[in-house]
């Protein structure tokens, strides 16, 4: 059984983010990729939707300019024939402030011919914003 595309893509992406070596990940991205990370783009301009390999490589480079991955733990994973979903807990450093950031995300990815054609990433963004601000945001208790 050959290795699932998720594992190859994951290694290449982490290499891109931490070592700024982009050749592996570039080879694993479909020309017409459909990419989205949901979250506040005002604060994190590398969130949001991107279409096509050039735009996605650019955003991966911007993420690499902003964070370094220290550890990650894949808490859940489901693999389909050409698809994969996982929930991952990352320990990062924000490079500008040198602050640690702990982040949980879920992704749903689709592959074709071993290349990533679609990915949607969801993040517990309120927790992320508070960590990036370095303070709590006061919230009223809304629900009963």
Contact residues toward its own copies (CB under 8 A) are 38-40, 42-46, 62, 65-66, 75-76, 78-80, 83-85, 87, 94, 96, 104-106, 108, 120, 122-129, 132-133, 137, 139-144
Min CB(104)–its own copies separation in Å: 6
Residue pair 70/61 in contact by the 8 Å Cβ criterion? no
120: tokens are 């949607």
Residue pair 12/90 in contact by the 8 Å Cβ criterion? no
* Residues 94-129: b if buried by 16+ CB within 10 A, e if exposed: eeeeeeebebebebebbbeeebbbbbbbebebeebe
Min CB(40)–its own copies separation in Å: 5
Q: Between 69 and 122, whose beta carbon lies closer to its own copies?
A: 122
Min CB(113)–its own copies separation in Å: 19
Q: Between 15 and 104, whose beta carbon lies closer to its own copies?
A: 104
Q: Between 23 and 81, whose beta carbon lies closer to its own copies?
A: 81
Report the SS3 class of residue 38.
Answer: coil
Q: Between 27 and 79, whose beta carbon lies closer to its own copies?
A: 79
30: tokens are 């479909």
What's the longest Cα–Cα distance across the chain?
Answer: 53
Min CB(5)–its own copies separation in Å: 14
55: tokens are 């735009």
Min CB(117)–its own copies separation in Å: 13
Q: Between 3 and 96, whose beta carbon lies closer to its own copies?
A: 96
């Amino acid at each position: 059984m050959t290795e699932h595309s998720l594992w190859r893509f994951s290694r290449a992406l982490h290499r891109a983010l931490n070592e700024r070596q982009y050749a592996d990940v570039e080879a694993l991205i479909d020309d017409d990729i459909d990419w989205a990370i949901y979250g506040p783009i005002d604060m994190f301009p590398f969130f949001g939707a991107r279409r096509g390999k050039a735009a996605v490589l650019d955003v991966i480079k911007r993420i690499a300019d902003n964070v370094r991955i220290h550890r990650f733990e894949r808490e859940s994973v489901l693999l389909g024939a050409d698809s994969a979903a996982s929930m991952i807990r990352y320990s990062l450093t924000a490079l500008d402030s040198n602050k640690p950031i702990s982040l949980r995300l879920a992704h749903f990815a689709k592959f074709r011919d071993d290349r990533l054609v679609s990915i949607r990433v969801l993040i517990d963004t309120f927790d992320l914003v508070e960590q990036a601000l370095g303070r709590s945001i006061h919230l009223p208790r809304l629900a009963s």
